[in-house]
Structures are given as C-alpha cells and as structure tokens.
C-alpha cells in the first residue's frame, strides 16, 4: 500500500507541465486494435491505468513497445480470446476492448469493467449501441459474450450523453457496413481525440464534438500516428492548487478552452489568472467569493473536477452549493474533508460548503481517484502533516503527481507501507 504525506502551507511557484489525458489515452490504446497495421501514440501518461491496459494488450498477444511517453502497438498477430475478469475489473476503460474486438472480429468475450466506486455505472447504453449495429449479447452473471454475423450501420440514440457509450459505438461502427448515426453523443474532447485517431487510420467519422456523430464504415484501417490531448482534469486539479496556494503558478501545455468551465468559475470567485495560448498562470487571493456549481457533460462543469473543487470551496466566504448530476456516489471525500476541519453537509445530490474554515492535517483515505486528488489539495493547504492512505487510486490517473508538486515548492512524499 502507498501513502502520500504532505506538510501543508507552502507556497506553490514555478511551472507544472500537464501530461496526456488519461481518459483519452485509455480509449486510444484499445482503439488501436482496430488498425490493420502498426500505430504510434505520443504523449501517453505514465499512470497505472495505462499499465493495466498494456497488460490486456500483452495478454492478447499484441506487439507493444513503450518508451517514456510513446507507445507503438502492432496488433496484427493478436488472438481474440476471453479477457479474464481479474484484468477487466482493474479499470473502467477495459470495456473499450469490448468494442474494439467486436468491431475487428465480430466476437468478444469479457467481463463487466471495473473503475472507481462512484455510482452504479451501468453499461446498458454501450450494449444498446452494439445491438443496433447487429450484435447479439449473451449475459451470464458478470460475463458478456457478444457476437455478430455481420456488423452494419444503425441509428443509435443514447439516453444520456455517455462518454463510454459514444466511444464504444464509434469503435464498433468504423468497420461496420454502411452508415451509423449516434444521437445525443458525448461532446467531450476525449471523444474528439479518439475520432481524430480513427480518421488518421482512414476511418470516416464526422461530427465528433457535437451531439450527432456520423460514421461510414470502411474495410481497412492503415497505420498512423496520433497524440494524446493534454489532460484537462489534471490541469484543472493544479489550477485549483494554484488558487489555494499559488504565487504565479504556471499550468503549462494545456488547451485553455478545455478548462473554460473551471476558469470561468475561478474568475467568478475573484481569483487572478492570466490565460495564454497554452497556459494559465494563477495566484492565490484572499476573500474568495462563494459560488454555485452543477456538474454536467462537456462543455459543462466536469464531474471529475467537483471533488478537487470542493477543497477550494472550503476557503470561500459564505455557503457554496455544489450539485453532482452525473454520479450518485461521488461525495466520499466529504467525510475526510470534514475531519480536516471543513464544514460540509451532504443533502442528496448536493453539498453545502460553509467557508472559510481552517484545515488541519490528519490521516485520511483516498476512496477513489478524484477524492484522492481532493485530499492532496487539502493536504497542501492544511496546517501540519496530512497522511493520505490508499493513494494507489491517485496514481491511476495523475502522472508523477508527487514530483510535479515537489518541483513547485510542496513538501510532499510518497511512501510504501
């Protein structure tokens, strides 16, 4: 087990360079299996979720070369066999192998995917997309055997703009016969990154980034190169660190438009920022104003930043209200923030954060990835020592978080226990 230990209260100054987006990279890697030649993907973050996907690639027999932040994948010789439950359960994104293998071989056998425990997270919309494109699904407990005599185009309406269901439907549709339309598609930048990758291979995907995506199937996908976009959630997490403790902290290598819902909220709080073409410089200020926030699909405020933002709300004057509309159990960080001294009440899907409150270091637990990020931010601010247990969750999604924060002045260490 790993722990992060932080001595709080140190000013953060200098530059943090943002890595490739976890939620793009975890889709691009399985998507590469659809390619009939070799692909290269740059700007892959070194996080444990990528290691877990690599394990699946190697299990299937793909030829994988990983060097620093680049991965080369040649899947011409893979064997389409059942993916065991213990590896598919390691992360949510394992289900992108479901669609990639189905799209390539018209058959896949695997188990329900894992992922942070933040709500029920069903996969009914993904399965609906598969069925519409001609697949037959056999469900036995947690196991899915999905087959198709022929995959063909279809008209898929998603009941909610699910990122996973949008990407999964795209992956099955790129080699299906004819035209597929996805209505009420997710508009997240990660969906666009995947569509660009597929188009670089020669696929015909248009409309990614809007709520209607149109895909015309092709027979062959050629080798290509692509790059993972900067991680807007990692960027947002460090922007919040800058708002808590920054002295002109520069968050570099970002796409400012992708974090606009956060930067506009920070502006509403009165936080000084300089926004450049690929960076944001941010400093702490006194007298932050309370705000109200509601999580929504992109371009709304991302659910993945609501837990990190909660730490900042504890320092705003007055009662902020934060409403989580995407997941039903994404407030497990609140208990621990309150133990550190925050004054937060949970009421159904909303939390009420009364601030400002002093935070004092203690031992706390990271229950999931973004709850862990929230507690790291709290530890940076709190007086004294904060020990965060079970930080494996954090290391799933933040490349070099300890070194990145150390380099800008934090007193933070990672310990094996």
Q: Which stretch binds ligand EPU (CB under 6 A): 51-59, 163-171, 175-183, 284-292?
A: 163-171
Say which residues have a Cβ less than 8 Å from residue 225's Cβ, sequence separation at least 6.
39, 40, 41, 42, 200
- The residue from 44, 123, 282, 380 that contacts ligand EPU (CB under 6 A) is 123
Residue 58 CB, shortest distance to ligand EPU, in Å, is 20
How far apart, in whole angstroms, are the C-alpha atoms of residue 127 and residue 135?
Answer: 9
Q: Which is nearer to ligand EPU, 114 or 242 (CB)?
A: 114
Half-sphere exposure of residue 35, counting CA atoms within 13 Å on the CB side?
A: 28
* Residue 116 contacts ligand EPU per CB under 6 A: yes
* Residue 135 contacts ligand EPU per CB under 6 A: no
Helix (H) / strand (E) element for 144: namely strand 143-147
Q: Beta strands of 212-368 (E only): which ranges?
A: 212-216, 224-227, 246-252, 273-275, 279-282, 292-294, 318-323, 343-347, 350-355, 363-365
Residue 237 CB, shortest distance to ligand EPU, in Å, is 11
Q: Which stretch binds ligand EPU (CB under 6 A): 115-123, 224-232, 270-278, 345-353?
A: 115-123
State the residue for tokens 């799209």: 103
Residue 257 CB, shortest distance to ligand EPU, in Å, is 16
Q: Are 211 and 239 in contact (CB under 8 A)?
A: no
How many Å from the N-terminal Cα to the C-terminal Cα in the chain? 5
Residue 130 CB, shortest distance to ligand EPU, in Å, is 11
Establish whether 347 is a catalytic residue.
no
* Residue 119 contacts ligand EPU per CB under 6 A: yes
Residue 382 CB, shortest distance to ligand EPU, in Å, is 23
Helices (H) and strands (E) in the chain, counts: 14, 23
Say which residues have a Cβ less than 8 Å from residue 345's Cβ, sequence separation at least 6.
351, 352, 354
Say which residues have a Cβ less than 8 Å from residue 67's Cβ, sequence separation at least 6.
none
* Residue 232 contacts ligand EPU per CB under 6 A: no
Could you say which of 35, 116, 224, 374 is catalytic?
A: 116
* Residue 165 contacts ligand EPU per CB under 6 A: yes
* Residue 129 contacts ligand EPU per CB under 6 A: no
Best CA proximity match to 349, nearest among 414, 287, 294: 294
Interface of this chain with ligand EPU, residues 293 to 332, rule: CB under 6 A = 302-304, 326-327
Q: Which is nearer to ligand EPU, 284 or 330 (CB)?
A: 330
Provide the binding-site residues for ligand EPU, judged by CB under 6 A.
23, 26, 92-93, 116, 119-126, 160, 162-165, 186, 188, 302-304, 326-327, 369-370, 397
């Amino acid at each position: 087990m790993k722990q992060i230990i932080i001595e709080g209260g140190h000013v953060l100054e200098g530059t943090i360079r943002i890595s490739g987006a976890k939620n793009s990279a975890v889709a691009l890697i399985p998507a590469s299996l659809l390619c009939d030649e070799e692909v290269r993907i740059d700007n892959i973050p070194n996080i444990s979720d990528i290691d877990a996907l690599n394990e699946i690639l190697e299990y299937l027999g793909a030829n994988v070369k990983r060097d620093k932040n680049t991965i080369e994948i040649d899947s011409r010789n893979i064997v389409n066999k059942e993916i065991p439950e213990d590896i598919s359960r390691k992360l949510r994104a394992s289900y992108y192998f479901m669609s990639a293998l189905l799209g390539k071989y018209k058959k896949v056998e695997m188990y329900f995917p894992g992922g942070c425990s933040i709500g029920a997270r069903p996969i009914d919309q993904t399965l609906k997309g598969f069925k519409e494109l001609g697949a037959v699904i056999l469900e036995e407990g947690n196991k899915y055997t999905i087959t198709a005599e022929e995959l063909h185009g279809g008209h898929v309406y998603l009941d909610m703009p699910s990122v996973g269901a949008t990407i999964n439907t795209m992956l099955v549709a790129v080699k299906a016969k004819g035209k597929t339309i996805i209505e009420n598609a997710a508009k997240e930048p990660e969906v666009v990154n995947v569509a660009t990758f597929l188009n670089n291979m020669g696929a015909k995907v248009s409309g990614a980034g809007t709520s209607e995506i149109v895909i015309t199937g092709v027979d062959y996908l050629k080798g290509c190169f692509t790059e993972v976009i900067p991680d807007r959630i990692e960027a947002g997490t460090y922007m919040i660190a800058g708002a808590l403790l920054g002295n002109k902290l520069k968050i570099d290598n970002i796409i400012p438009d992708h974090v606009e819902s956060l930067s506009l909220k920070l502006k509403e709080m009165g936080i000084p920022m300089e926004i450049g073409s690929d960076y944001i410089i941010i400093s702490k200020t006194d007298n932050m104003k309370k705000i109200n926030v509601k999580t929504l699909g992109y371009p709304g405020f991302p659910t993945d930043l609501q837990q990190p933002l909660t730490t900042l709300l504890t320092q705003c004057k007055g009662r902020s209200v934060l409403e989580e509309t995407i997941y039903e159990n994404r407030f497990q960080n609140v208990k621990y923030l309150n133990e550190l001294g925050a004054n937060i009440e949970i009421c159904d899907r909303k939390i009420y954060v009364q601030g400002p409150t002093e935070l004092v270091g203690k031992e706390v637990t990271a229950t999931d990835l973004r709850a862990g990020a929230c507690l790291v931010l709290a530890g940076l601010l709190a007086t004294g020592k904060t020990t965060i247990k079970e930080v494996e969750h954090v290391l799933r999604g933040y490349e070099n978080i300890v070194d990145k924060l150390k380099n800008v002045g934090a007193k933070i260490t990672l310990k094996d226990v």
